[in-house]
Structure 1
Amino acid sequence: MAMIKVAAAIIENQNGRILIARRAKGKSQEGMWEFPGGKLEPGESPEECLRRELLEEMGIEIEPYAYFGVNEHAYGAVTICLIAYKATYVSGEIVLVDHDEYRWVYREELREFTFAPADVRFVGMLGFERF
């Protein structure tokens, strides 16, 4: 069984809203929402991965500052090890590459969206956690 390490950023802006993005058509889990991020390159830390991925996929700079949690989820023959970090939004205007929509939402609104299965645990954790 293949294990893929993926990092996810839980980015909160100055208004207390969290950034979520919807997976574009043609991608696995298309139409589902997720915390943005991506696959770790060999030798890359989750924090480095998140800085690179958010710049590549959304054109924004972020600063990961605290480990949030990890969740493993099996998708058929592949298991995703999703490592989440809290991050602050630093700069840049969002331009979507891999997603077809994004939203800044309050944590109590997160449950109104259908998240990719690996991300669901973090939605639950955010409901009980204070930044």
Structure 2
Amino acid sequence: MIDVVAGILIDNNKVLIAKRKEGKSMAGYWEFPGGKVESEEKPEDSLIRELREEMNIKIDIDKKFGESIYDYGNIEIKLIAFLGKIIEGNITLKDHDEYRWVDYKDLDKFTFSPADISFVKKLCIKGL
């Protein structure tokens, strides 16, 4: 099983989502941005590193939001999500071809990668 982190980043009651670009795994699916946890790395540190590398932003993590385990057939991942906010930088996309700030009530209108769906449901039902 591979540990992966996701940032549920909030600004003015909207959530940042990003669409995976062609040529990447899960291309065309929306997700909460993040990436793989490297060995000997804490999940929080991994999320900070991944978003700096992939989106050129610095974030502040508020708290853990939840975990999701999903088996894609060829790989099983544990997705660990954290609530946070951008504190520095302008979004520059590397692994995504689009991003949006979306009201959490509208998240279910997008096609998310399977591992992210439990977080989408939780946000749509319980909110932020």
Aligned to 1:64: 61
Question: What is the CA distance between 1:100 and its match in structure 2?
Answer: 0.5
**8 A contact 2:105–2:127 mirrored in 1:** no
After superposition, give the CA deviation of every residue in 1:14-35 in whole Å (9 maximum; x if it has no partner). x111000000001121100000
Runs of at least 5 residues in structure 1 that lack an aligned partner in the other structure: none
**CA–CA distance in structure 1, aligned partners of residues 77 and 112 of structure 2:** 15
User: Is 1:80 aligned with 2:77?
Assistant: yes
After superposition, give the CA deviation of every residue in 1:35-73 in whole Å (9 maximum; x if it has no partner). 000000111111101110000000011111101110000
Aligned to 2:32: 35
Normalising to structure 1: TM-score of the pair?
0.94
**CA–CA distance in structure 1, aligned partners of residues 60 and 121 of structure 2:** 23
Aligned to 1:10: 8
Aligned to 2:90: 93
Normalising to structure 2: TM-score of the pair?
0.97
Counterpart amino acid of residue 27 in structure 2: E
Aligned to 2:49: 52
Runs of at least 5 residues in structure 2 that lack an aligned partner in the other structure: none
Q: Aligned-residue CA RMSD in angstroms?
A: 0.9
Runs of 4+ in structure 1 off by over 2 angstroms are: 128-131
Specify the SS of the correspondent of 2:76.
strand
**CA–CA distance in structure 1, aligned partners of residues 35 and 42 of structure 2:** 12
Q: How many residues align?
A: 128
Specify the SS of the correspondent of 2:125.
coil
